[in-house]
Amino acid sequence: MMKRIFFPLGILSVFGFLAVSFFYRTREPDTLEATGNISHSPVPVNVTLVGYTNLPQALTIPAIIRAHQNGNLISELAGRVEQLIVTEGDQVRAGDTLLALDQALYRVELEKTRGDFFKALTEFISELQLTNEQNAKEWDTYLNQALQKPVLPPLPNFLSQSKLMSLVRYDLHNHYAAVKQAEQKLKQCVITAPFGGVVSDIQVFPGAGVSPGTVLLKLTDLSRMRVEIDVLETDLPYIHPGTPFQFVDSPADTFYVEAILPEIDPQTRCGKAIAVIPNENMRYKDGQKAIVKLVKRVYFNRLVVPRSAILTRNDRDLVFVVKSGIAKWQYVSTGVGNTDLIEILEGVSVGDTVVTGRHYSLAHDVPVDVIMETPKLSP
């Protein structure tokens, strides 16, 4: 019988102890102050000073990094690959030779057209000399110079009106155009880099036959990269050329939006902000995905504390303010914020010391030991 009586009494005692403990832990700060502090050793905490600073709000959104320029190099001619000078991954400069086609047939074509041109030019000059044309000497000088050059210089434009029909009769302009076309084909047998970049996706090999339009290889310029940032149409009005952004994985570098494209994707309801950034160390690759933090707006000169300083008790925001080594429970009203900082509208003042770490179980009027001070905010 006694066991039946003591057992309920023991349960009631335990619940009573828990209720009293909860009552003391949840009372308002002024009630706790009246009871006095029962802690015997200071609690180590992290602190910072309350201060004024500019409060940026940022969007954290995906982006695609693309090469500023790249493309497939194609053959303009039919022929056979005689030399392949580069390999996959080679870094080349603008003008470097990449590969060469067999030039034999195109050299024959050039020699034939040059022969036809000089034959017609010689006959034309002979007629000028026979008729004592005043410009015959200048044309003869041009002939002697052109014979010594592998590339034809421009035709002279000095000729009397009476001899223009003779120029047409000898078909000199068409012969000249045929030579220039043959020169261009011979030049196209040697494929050079139109810009500096990295060689990839080589489609041919020595001895391979190609035709006009055959893809030879791909060239990608990684010295500068184009960043394409997808911005929701509701946020797009806040973004403009000059808006700063950072890559989440390298926040030390700040870049700036250069343009906003005029279209909205009907599927994603996003527009694109565009920037071109340097890439000297080839860190970024064509098609690489990234996460960027893009500044949406800035609230200037706001009184702020780190978000880590804010606690919630009794459904109200509060901070612990350290005064003379004692942590004081202080309710606050908050305003705008970002992921790191939050504005304080009421409850603390500039220069107050607030606890930012190791304070989740901290109580009012408890001695604290400041073991680390986070960087001060701009006053």
pLDDT for position 67:
95
Q: CA-to-CA distance for 279 and 63, rounded, in angstroms?
A: 16
**Tens digits of per-residue pLDDT, 166-176?**
778 899 999 99
**Tens digits of per-residue pLDDT, 246-294?**
999 888 899 999 999 999 999 999 999 999 999 988 899 999 999 999 9
Does domain 57-67+221-298 fall under CATH 1.10.260.40? My reply is no
When comparing pLDDT for 13 and 328, which is higher? Answer: 328
Q: What percent of the chain has pLDDT over 70?
A: 87
pLDDT for position 367:
93
CB 235 within 8 A of CB 272: no
CB 283 within 8 A of CB 313: no
CB 81 within 8 A of CB 206: yes
114, pLDDT greater than 50: yes
Q: Which whole-number Å values give the CA distances from 344 to 49, 335, 375, in the listed order?
A: 13, 6, 18
Domain positions in the chain: 1-35, 57-67+221-298, 71-99+192-220, 105-188
Do the domains at 57-67+221-298 and 71-99+192-220 have one common CATH topology? no
CATH level 3 topology of 71-99+192-220? OB fold (Dihydrolipoamide Acetyltransferase, E2P) (2.40.50)
**Tens digits of per-residue pLDDT, 287-322?**
999 999 998 888 999 999 999 999 998 889 999 999
23, pLDDT greater than 90: no
Which three-class secondary structure state does DSSP give residue 60? Answer: strand
